[in-house]
Structure 1
Amino acid sequence: MKHLLPIVLVGLFSGSVVSAESGDTATSSIFITTDVQDLNEFVWENRPIVVFADSPNDPNFRQQIEFLEERADELAERDVVVLTDTDPSKDSALRQKLRPRGFMMVLVSKDGSVLLRKPFPWSVRELMRSIDRLPSRQREIRERRSSDG
């Protein structure tokens, strides 16, 4: 996890989507490295978490990223990808669609619908609880159990 922080900080200060490259494939797989213009590319594949802030120095933004980094492997099990946008002047497609005001964390389901909007950092425990209650996640759990045994 120590190798991840410098890479994430570089991504945060660039104002683009966070890049996390490490030997841990679960951790690196949840942070997207390309500029995402449309959440439709994740439909039925991933559950995007989009974290907005007006600056990468926003304390709420930093805290949310720390929360996500700490339990990245558990989020990867739930097919979560993390997207960030810390440059409101670019008026990205994500900003136009989700309309954040300052800091905002958005959880999007696999079908593309917005599940949660939070104006403050939210713990990964609570995020995972919300995900695990979804019918699609319940189906994934049953399918994994049946394929394991």
Structure 2
Amino acid sequence: MMRFLACISAQGKTKASTLFDSPSMFCLLMVTLSLFLSSASHADANSIFQLLSPETADLHQYQWRKRPIVIFAPSQGDSSYRQQIMMLEKAKAALADRDIIVLSDTSPSSQGKLRAQFQARSFQVVLIGKDGGAKLQRDMPISVETMLSTIDSMPMRKANLN
């Protein structure tokens, strides 16, 4: 078990003493720390905006649960990428309401598997339905209104509204 040591200087002498000598205080610290770390990782996992790992070969993990918007760009500094992200960030509530997750691949040098499948050479946006099929695919930013109206016209979305 890890102990936290604190050095206390008293009258020029250095003395080591343990912080949280009591086992119950130490356990309380560890439980609090683990809860904090697990809630932080849980918040990241539930974030609408996520980086797409180059190893990701398919989007099956989202099928029937989420509608991925996959954005491929040459870099995070790409003007089309920044424009698309800004539009999407302004519509977070609408995206969340429609079970959307935004996945970004801004590193062509990583040779991502999905990038290769979609043959994305520069900027590209792909809206994937809950069934796993591509619903919109453009090489320029897509307005949020276009994405939302496309989603709202889908049978699954209409069924969710009723």
Q: TM-score range by the shorter chain?
A: 0.7 to 0.9
Highest CA radius of gyration, 1 or 2?
2
Post-superposition, which runs of at least 4 consecutive aligned residues in structure 1 deviate over 6 A? none
Matches of 2:145 and 2:95 in 1, distance apart?
Answer: 10
TM-score of the two chains, using structure 2 as the length reference: 0.67
Letter in 2 for 1:119: D
Match of residue 29, structure 1, among 47, 64, 69: 47
- Greater helix percent: which structure? 1
SS in 2 for 1:120: coil
The gaps in structure 1 that reach 5 residues or longer are 1-24, 143-149
Give the paired residue count: 117
**Percent of counterpart pairs with the same letter?**
41
In structure 2, give the amino acid aligned to 1:45.
Answer: R
Partner of residue 136, structure 1: 156
In structure 1, what is the equivalent of residue 68 of structure 2?
48
- Larger relative contact order (Cα-Cα within 8 Å, sequence gap ≥ 6): 1
Gap regions ≥5 residues in structure 2: 1-42
The match for 2:140 is: 120
- Measure the CA separation in 1 of the matches of 2:101 and 2:133: 15
CA-based RMSD of the aligned residues comes to 1.8
Give the C-alpha shift of residue 59 in structure 1.
0.4
**Displacement of 1:29:** 3.0
- Contact 1:67–1:123 at 8 Å: present in 2 too? yes
Cα distance in 1 for partners of 2:65, 2:120 equals 24
